[in-house]
Amino acid sequence: MSSDTTPPATPAPPARLAPSKAPSWIMVGFVLGLLVFYTVNDYLHRPKQQPAPQPEPASVATTPAPAPAENPKSEIRNPQSPSLLIIDTIFRKWSVNALWDYDKTEVLFYNPADNKFSIPIEVVRRGLEGDYTYFYRPLDALTRPLVPAPDTPGTVLRFTENEEATRLREEKQREMWNFR
């Protein structure tokens, strides 16, 4: 054996790497986020400042405001005409009979105050087949011809059709009469 016995060499510890910079940037972002949050929160919940009231002049001659000009189209509708809720309920019940032209149709509702059909309404539908949302707009007059309907008691709604549907219906009627 040799007289030189040296203990086995222990491996040197690995060199220590520099810590990552990511946690410090995360902390900076967190602090900036808190500052922005508190600044915006304080701005949004700040009480509104009322403007100082203007002192009134000592002597001002007051003149009455002129009456609003009468608009011939701003006619007040009959208070006995049906509400939109009633119009919507009636239309939804009978909407299968409506003739649609680009998701629009016009209908004529019965007005009990006049005892005749005198409330023209434009109906626009939006949505998917079977799940429509209807929008109603009162009209001054219908722009489409009425579908001929028998005078059935209890009818409260008349439908309109476009010119193409009128032409097709009249052609079919002529063919029926010529066939017999």
Counting Cα atoms < 13 Å in the Cβ hemisphere of 140 gives: 4
Q: What pLDDT was estimated at residue 97?
A: 78
Looking at the predicted structure, is the pLDDT value of residue 73 above 60? no
43: its two tokens: 């701005």
Report CA 41 to chain centroid distance, whole Å: 30
52: its two tokens: 């100082």
Q: Of 118, 108, 106, whose CA–CA distance to 80 is shortest?
A: 118
User: For 140-163, how does the pLDDT look when each residue is reduced to its tens digit (9 = 90+)?
Assistant: 888 888 887 766 677 788 888 888
- 110 Cβ contact list (under 8 Å, min separation 6): 116, 117, 118, 119, 155, 156, 157
The mean pLDDT value for 3-10 works out to: 67
**If you ran DSSP here, which 8-state letter would residue 140 be given?**
S
User: For 14-61, how does the pLDDT look when each residue is reduced to its tens digit (9 = 90+)?
Assistant: 777 776 766 788 888 899 999 988 888 887 777 777 666 776 666 555
